[in-house]
Every structure is written in C-alpha cells, then in structure tokens.
Structure 1
Amino acid sequence: MNAVRMYTTLVCPYCMRAKALLKDVGVSDIQEIRVDLDPAQRDAMIASTGRRTVPQIFIGEVHVGGFDDLRALRERGGLDALLGQ
C-alpha cells in the first residue's frame, strides 16, 4: 500500500472527514503533519501544493488535493488503485 501523508490542523472538520474516509477504505497509517504546530510545515505545504487550506493529501508521491478531491477520487473508482490495493 502506498504511504498516505496529510497536512492537517487540530480543529479541521475536513481533515477529520478525510481521515474517516481513508479509514473506511482500509488505510490505518496516515502520516499527519500538523501545520498549526509548525509554521515551516505550512510553508512547505504551500510550496509543494500551491494551496493554503487543509487537509492537503498525498498518496505516495501524488498530490490528491483536499477532502473534496479525495471523495471525488473515491467516487470515480480511482482511490483503491492509487493506494495500491
């Protein structure tokens, strides 16, 4: 299974939804990077994604986007393939 990395904040409903969706499809290990605790990580997130909002989700080296993008990927049937399942 490809690694999942997610930029998050503590109080982010979309981050919680993204984690729940990933759990529903069998992802038990998410590398969570809290940008509210480390401003340098937020800068790194913006530099690599061009986006300022969380969550920002990576599966392997692929930037999926935010929660809406993740949900759309699942609805299109592409999430399992990207996860390597």
Structure 2
Amino acid sequence: MSESAQIKAQKMIDDNAVMVFSKSYCPYCNNTKRILDGLNAKYTAYELNQESDGDDIQAALHKMTGQRTVPNIFIGRVHIGGNSDLEAVVRNGKDGKKLEDMLKEAGAL
C-alpha cells in the first residue's frame, strides 16, 4: 500500500457526501447501491476491480478502517462499514439517526 493511495482514498471520502468503495461484481456492493438509489441519494462509487490502483486503495482502506471487505461505505466522512452495517442503519438508525437523516446532513439528499 502506498501513501498516495491513502491520500487518494481520504480525498475521495472528504470530497463526496457518500463514498462507496465497491467491486462491480459483488452482490453486497450492488445491494448497497440499490438501497442508495432507492432513496435517490447522491453518492460516488469507486469500483476497485476496475481501477489500476484498486488493490492499493483497498489496502489503504483496510489500514484506515480495519475493514478489508467491500462495500466500504462512508456517509458525511463517517465510516458506516459494509452492506450489513448499512442495512442495520436502514432498520435501526445509527446514534439515533435514520439513514435519510444522515444522507440529508451529508448533503446527499
């Protein structure tokens, strides 16, 4: 993992209200994008398997979050986790906030 990959990953997180690090063939990633699409949320998906630096970015995310799997989701610069974590936010909220509230605060709705 290069330092430039960590800088690039952090910049994508900082510059996007919702950032989803994904792999195009991953059913969990596709479900995450379906959930966000269903809410008409603005988000950026970075398909790690389609980018030349995808492995480096994934390694940087692992170092940053402790999570190696995808999707790796950030809303308003806050690490949400993976698809099951997003589904839990849909069901139960996070810190008393529903997903729609989190997306509005982040400027994604």
Which interval holds the TM-score relative to the shorter structure? 0.7 to 0.9
Contact preservation (8 Å) 1:34, 1:41: no
Q: Whose relative contact order is higher, 1 or 2, with alpha carbons under 8 Å and at least 6 apart?
A: 1
Query: CA RMSD for the aligned pairs?
Result: 1.6
Three-state SS of the structure 2 residue aligned to 1:82 is helix
Q: What is the TM-score normalised by the length of structure 1?
A: 0.86
Give the greater-gyration-radius structure (CA). 2
2: CA distance, partners of 1:47 / 1:33: 18
Q: Which moved more, 1:42-51 or 1:59-68?
A: 42-51
Number of residue pairs the alignment of both structures matches: 83
Identity %: 36
Higher helix share: 2
Q: Give 1:35 deviation, angstroms.
A: 2.2
Higher strand share: 1
> Structure 1: where are the runs of 5+ without partners?
none
1: CA distance, partners of 2:22 / 2:62: 12
Q: What is the TM-score normalised by the length of structure 2?
A: 0.69
Q: Which moved more, 1:54-63 or 1:70-79?
A: 70-79
Return structure 1 stretches of 4+ with deviation > 3 angstroms.
none
2: CA distance, partners of 1:66 / 1:39: 17
